[in-house]
Amino acid sequence: MLKALQLEPEKCTGCLQCEMACSFEHEGVFNPSKSRIKVFNFHEEGRFAPYTCSQCAEAWCMHACPVEAIVVNPDTGAKDVLEGVCVGCKVCTIACPFGTVNYNTDSGKVIKCDLCGGKPACAEACPTQAITYVDANHTGLARMRAHAAQTIQGINGWR
């Protein structure tokens, strides 16, 4: 059974524990700029939203890579960057419509979420469960439709 990160912005407090855990897991330092997950701050609204690679079924980053340095991990389903193959051309960063593939200036290679090999540090570190690691079938279209229906009911209830 494949699993996926489920991100629930309404639960995010902006504590950045996910970013710190990710950067420490991958780079050995507590530095949000080296994290593969980011927390977007909506200053005006006072809200936060974690975001990272959604491991697209039709991964444009993977198809765009001229040296085939992005491959599907058979155990997790994550689109992993093979650091030894990556030439740092950044074509994948342009191909990703969500901006979740980034260039690491220290290594000269690209970085993106790899689900920490099946044990995502961000999900483990999140104190509010705004980030959880769930059955992949629990995320996606059905979940978005359920959330949209709930939102519409809430709006109609205010009329």
- Give me the CATH number covering residue 94: 3.30.70.20
Domain range for 77 is: 56-112
Task: List the pLDDT tens digit at each of the 159 positions of the chain.
Answer: 789 999 999 999 999 999 999 999 999 999 999 999 999 999 999 999 999 999 999 999 999 999 999 999 999 999 999 999 999 999 999 999 999 999 999 999 999 999 999 999 999 999 999 999 999 877 654 555 555 566 556 555 544
42 shares a domain with 5:
yes
C-alpha neighbours within 13 Å on the C-beta side of residue 102 = 16
87 shares a domain with 46:
no
37 shares a domain with 21:
yes
121 shares a domain with 47:
yes
Q: How many domains does the chain have?
A: 2
CA distance 23 to 121: 9
122 shares a domain with 48:
yes
C-alpha neighbours within 13 Å on the C-beta side of residue 82 = 12
CA distance 116 to 27: 12
CA distance 10 to 12: 6
pTM here is 0.83
